[in-house]
Amino acid sequence: MAEKPFGIENTGSRFSSRISARFAELGRQEKKGLVVYLMAGDPSLEATGIILQEVVRAGADFIELGVPFSDPLADGPVIQRAAERALRAGATLRKVLTLLPSWRDGVQAPVILFTYYNPILQYGIEAFARDARQAGADGVLAVDLTPEEADVYLRALREQRLDAIFLGSPTSSDERLRLAASASSGFLYVVSRTGVTGEREELAQTLAPLVRRARQVTSLPLAVGFGISNPQQVQVVQRLADAAVVGSAVVHAVEERYPSGGAGEIGNFVRWLKQNPGSEAA
């Protein structure tokens, strides 16, 4: 039987992080959060910092910064194309950590690195945690790492006061949700549907029951992602959980709008996501 992951008995954050502080601030304001996913290096390394700052000005409460990977498991076609563009532009984990301080200069929104575990292993777990913290990252989501295999990773991140975020999905048992939540700090990422990322016309019917089950096993904030692409869906998710994560729709906007309209168009798209349902798209 696998040993419990490091710190598994200590549900929730063991330190005061910028992520937990932002959720606390939103709670005091009786607001819910918006997490915006961007692919680092798409459409270029230079553009990433400009877009990041623009979407925060437009109202993003958190940034999920994807590190491109050649063999993704959880990403749908939109994010896969973005990863290919980013790789061609020279984006690597080391390059992302080198440029992150300038990208987030003056940005107070927490930044969560979204990556696969292989680049972290290749980088060196302790070195990655140290460099991520020095670069200004606030948390890490290694999408294909399970809590049972995360002892060394968790220890390294917590020594650097970085939040470790794990996933709970519709196929997770209550025991599995409890395990993921116990290994997490900052928030628990709730996957709204089975399958890969991508824009969807409707939210999954399993979402509300999944959020209720997650609430029963953790006091951490819950952020819901996968398939959220318009203001109506953002508001439904925010009524159920503490934050909505929008990824493929934003990346699609970068793909279609940035070449002609620049970062301002991506900011307009984020403002549209935050508007009341029925508003016209920017």
For 20-50, what is each residue's pLDDT tens digit? 999 999 999 999 999 999 999 999 999 999 9
CATH of residue 39: 3.20.20.70
Residue 2 lies in a domain: no
Report the half-sphere exposure of 81 (CA within 13 A, side-chain side): 11
For 70-98, what is each residue's pLDDT tens digit? 876 756 789 999 999 999 999 999 999 99
* Cα dihedral value 229, 187, 66, 180, nearest 10: -110
Residue 226 lies in a domain: yes
- Catalytic residues, by residue number, are 64, 75
Nearest-angstrom CA–CA distance, 251 and 164: 24
For 95-140, what is each residue's pLDDT tens digit? 999 999 999 999 999 999 999 999 999 999 999 999 999 999 999 9
Residue 236 lies in a domain: yes
Cα→Cα distances 254→14, 71, 91, Å: 36, 22, 16
Residue 256 lies in a domain: yes
Indicate the number of domains in the chain: 1
Range of the domain at 261: 18-274
Residue 189 lies in a domain: yes
pLDDT for 204 equals 62
Look at residue 255 and tell me whether its pLDDT is greater than 80: yes
Q: What is the DSSP letter of 279?
A: P
- Least Cα distance to 138 among 116, 111, 120, 156 occurs for 111
